[in-house]
Structure 1
Amino acid sequence: MTSLYPPPAALMTRPVTASEKVVPEARCISVLSLGSLVKQLGHLKKGFTFPIAVSSQVYPAGKTSARGRIDACHSYVHCDRIAVTEAFFKVAKEDRPVYEKTRITLGAWSQARIDKLLVQASRIDGAGSRIAFLSRHFLDTPYGESTLIGSDGVPEELVVNLAALDCFTFIDYIEAMRLASSFAEFLKRLREIRYREGVVSYVSRNHFFTDWKEFNGRLVSDVTAMIGRERTRQSSKTLNRKTDGSLFLEGIPARSRAVDYIPSTTIDQDLVDRLHNGDYTGIYTDTDGLDVSHVGIVIKESTRVYLRHASSAGASRRVIDQLFGDYVKEKPGVVVLRPRTI
């Protein structure tokens, strides 16, 4: 459950700006959803922000019972501010739970180690070099599918699971980390990257790789056409709608989108040379309703270029480096998003 109250200034992840109007309530309010919040406060208007404290449970690795439930945990409180926006009212109208629960599984990591890593990374100039540095620390992390919690019928939770990664959560965490210098800021950035306008709900989650270019455009840019030049092809997709008209993800509306990609048959050394260290790369798919089938990070080391990714292949099942050319040569193509310098 989330408690709403003005937290101590020392715990705030960012100060209130002069242009912000803060909801004046000083009383403690328990809310399960933005809908219930609106009912309790009644007068929220666009342009306001309000302080919020998110009580989380941090789960160490290996602490499980016979039922597989994690026994040992300790509380972690993250303080932040939520802006009252169009997305806020949309979720409030649907009365879907938001910020109801945060589930953090650190595995071999600790908050102190993550803080230290992020401080080190923040001193590295260049988005690509920082991404390469951070992602290297997650090599050999086991592959884990379906680690996120939330669906059309299940309330969304803000999940951090560093003990097991799939291809998308891997780049989620790395992108959030490259923009943070502390664990608290990492959580804040993760919400901004994974969810449109930072609203934690299933409908606001960026489910598709090209959602990043649409909704995280200030953080990444689509450089596919710039790299591919005349080799670039464009496909008109209706994301989330299968050939038979059904949906891949129930509760998520189908969305039309033009997807640029570079056919793998046209990728040569000249094109690979135009890739940057730290580029996020999606493996384009011809499947109706999907933009990519897999994602990873371009890593350039000396004369070699790798795809660093969370592999689900039976022989790997972990985060690995594979030669970029070898991996993509039998795939339909690639989509490339480049991190912006922030």
Structure 2
Amino acid sequence: MSSNSHLQEVIGGIPCAVSLGDLISRQEIEDLLFEFSELPPGQRLAVWAERLIGTPFEFESNLPILSEDMLRVNLANLDCITFIYVVIALSRADSFEQFVRQLKVLRYDVPDVEAASGRHAASGSFLHFVEESLLERAIEQGWLTDVTSTLVTAECIIPMAVDLRVIRRPAAFDFREQLVAPVRGERAISHTFIRAVDLQKMDVKLLQDGDIIVFAKDPTTAQGDLRHILVRHLGIVKKQAGAAYFIHSSRHFARREHATNEARPSHTGIFYDDDRRCEQLGVDFCGAYAGDEYIIKKDSDTYFAMDMSRLRTVQEYAESNFTGIKVLRLLPKPKNA
């Protein structure tokens, strides 16, 4: 089955378009759900993130548009947001059917919006503002908790506000240039973040495997529709030797300087410009920036090269690209949920 094809079926009463790709089967998902079931929530989230390493990157907005009643259950390719949705849903599930139900609740069940039916592309809410789905609803539902303020002293915390508005996605990320609408309506919101320049003051020991890092930029410094977005990227903490690294889904590529035309894939097996030295990362750890000389410009987008022999920490990545970070932590699932 190709990465853009799917099987339509009804799972637990939910019409689904299922595409699992080549890296994992439904039976393996069932087996791992059982194997990971006794792990603490954060560790479950971290091991699921690791298991999905190698999954190709694709913006969900570039995938085929489904009918309004159809839930996309896609592990074949993930963008930085759908990667987070999938691992959260997997981490709260005991079976494949429950995974599907958790994914639907996380993405589309909005108690204060009548019928929560606005998930069709024409309405602009088939895609999401993370500011709503994770920073509001997942916390309100008791799935996640915000631990940002516990990691640093008060002077390292800054507020950032944004006016959520209907926006049009840029062509580089969405060939249809679809609308994205706030499910709860256009409004002003504000959240607190650890200032990126103060991250070296953060006690890394307080971060836990599976913590979700929300990378944000100050909207007042942005242009166009980006003025209406706070969250620019997401990752999942995985600590090594006391340092806080993270797993994310990235469209950028590993620079494999000595790879020949016969070299085997190391990451997703997708090569930019048919050059085996430039392999798309997809779901993987974040590597160090390899340099401007390797930049690839393609299809209205820019792709950056990463040196995967040197991983970047949460602090290093945030300081190089963002205004601040927020840290969310998965909570235990109630027995009756």
- Give the secondary-structure state (helix, strand or coil) at the position aligned to 1:76: strand
Separation in 2 of the partners of 1:79 and 1:131?
23
Which of 220, 223, 238 is the equivalent residue of 2:147? 223
Aligned to 1:292: 231
Separation in 2 of the partners of 1:301 and 1:181?
28
Given residue 175 of structure 1, which amino acid in structure 2 is its aligned partner? I
Aligned to 2:79: 166
Percentage identity across paired residues of the two chains? 26
1:206-231, Cα deviation, whole Å (9 max, x unpaired): 72223223212210012222323311
- Give the secondary-structure state (helix, strand or coil) at the position aligned to 1:210: helix
Aligned to 1:326: 316
- Is residue 144 of structure 1 aligned with residue 58 of structure 2? yes
May I ask how many residue pairs the two structures share in their alignment?
Answer: 250
Q: Name the structure, 1 or 2, with higher relative contact order (CA <8 Å, separation 6+).
A: 2
Q: 1:91-240 maps to which residues of 2 (within 5 A)?
A: 101-108=15-22, 109-124=24-39, 126-146=40-60, 155=68, 157-197=70-110, 199=116, 201-202=118-119, 207-211=128-132, 212-217=134-139, 218-230=142-154, 231-240=156-165
The two structures have a TM-score, normalised by structure 1, of 0.65
Asked if the contact 2:162–2:230 (Cα under 8 Å) also holds between the matched residues in 1, the reply is yes
Aligned to 1:34: none
* Unmatched runs of 5 consecutive residues or more in structure 2: 168-176, 220-226, 255-279, 287-312
What is the CA-CA distance between 1:147 and the residue it aligns to?
A: 5.0
Separation in 1 of the partners of 2:232 and 2:34?
33
- Give the secondary-structure state (helix, strand or coil) at the position aligned to 2:210: coil
Computing the radius of gyration from Cα coordinates, the structure with the larger value is 1
What is the CA-CA distance between 1:278 and the residue it aligns to?
A: 0.8
- Give the secondary-structure state (helix, strand or coil) at the position aligned to 2:136: helix
Root-mean-square deviation over aligned CA pairs: 2.8
Asked if the contact 1:141–1:164 (Cα under 8 Å) also holds between the matched residues in 2, the reply is yes
CA distance 1:220–1:119, change in 2 (3 Å): same
**Range 133-142 or range 198-207, more displaced:** 198-207
Asked if the contact 2:161–2:188 (Cα under 8 Å) also holds between the matched residues in 1, the reply is yes
Separation in 2 of the partners of 1:169 and 1:327?
20
What is the CA-CA distance between 1:257 and the residue it aligns to?
A: 1.1
Separation in 2 of the partners of 1:106 and 1:255?
36
Asked if the contact 1:111–1:183 (Cα under 8 Å) also holds between the matched residues in 2, the reply is yes
The two structures have a TM-score, normalised by structure 2, of 0.66
- Is residue 266 of structure 1 aligned with residue 195 of structure 2? no
CA distance 1:191–1:269, change in 2 (3 Å): same
Aligned to 2:306: none
What is the CA-CA distance between 1:123 and the residue it aligns to?
A: 2.2
Which of 57, 60, 79 is the equivalent residue of 2:12? 79
Separation in 2 of the partners of 1:174 and 1:341?
14
Separation in 1 of the partners of 2:67 and 2:186?
20
Separation in 2 of the partners of 1:104 and 1:239?
31
Aligned to 1:249: 179
What is the CA-CA distance between 1:276 and the residue it aligns to?
A: 1.8
CA distance 1:75–1:262, change in 2 (3 Å): closer
